[in-house]
Structure 1
Amino acid sequence: MPGDVVVQHEAQLADAVLTNADPARSHLVRADLRRIQAAGAHFDDTYLTGAEMEDADLKRASLVRASLPGAILRGADLRQAGLRDADFTGADLTGADLTGAKNLSTAGFDGAVLKDTRGLPA
């Protein structure tokens, strides 16, 4: 039902097509979301603690207030994603592309790995 909170530990969603999906307010702890196609999806208020999102397509996705501590986003495409108040504490964003991401200045990157990340302010 819309508005319900979904709690899932270690969900196996690698290579899933979630384009324009709305998993907002879900708790996907240590989920395998590698290579997901989630352009335009709504992850607002979603907990993605320790999620594996390597090479995920999150173009234009909304991650408003999303919690991604310790998430692995190596090579993720976050171009034009909405990142208002997103928490990337300790996340690995090596090689991720944040070009044109919205509200980037409000997102938290404490302890995040940002090697070769594109689109961050200098």
Structure 2
Amino acid sequence: MSTQIALTLMGKHKPIYDPAADCGDYVVVVNARHVEVSGRKAEQKVYYRHSGYPGGLKEIPYARMMERNPSEIIWKAVSGMLPKNRLRAVRLDRLLVFPDEKHPYLANITKAYDTKIPLQCSPIE
């Protein structure tokens, strides 16, 4: 799912794609609380951050991150798949992740991706 989101944020699905231009679309992700990972990632995956001070390394296991902020898991996965350049922050601003079904952008969504792999796109009637 994260790879499809990254491609849409970059605009690679459009015929006018240019690596130096920002031509991507907004992406709204709902039900982030119900994300499942394959293998033993749920037990083994750890998220790291550092405060910049000596001894400031923080470790957060996947299970605790899922309880506290499930939308952060998707945000970090997509962030890691985008190119590391000046457009990265702009593209991530267009990623809107919601932990549940409710969100204020229901009227603006033009395409819905199915849960099947590979992801299928269908227009909303």
For the aligned pair, the TM-score class normalised by the smaller chain equals: under 0.3
Larger Rg over CA atoms = 2
Query: Going by fraction, where is strand more abundant, 1 or 2?
Result: 2
Higher relative contact order (CA 8 A, sep 6+): 2
The alignment's TM-score, normalised by the length of structure 2, stands at 0.20
TM-score (norm 1): 0.20
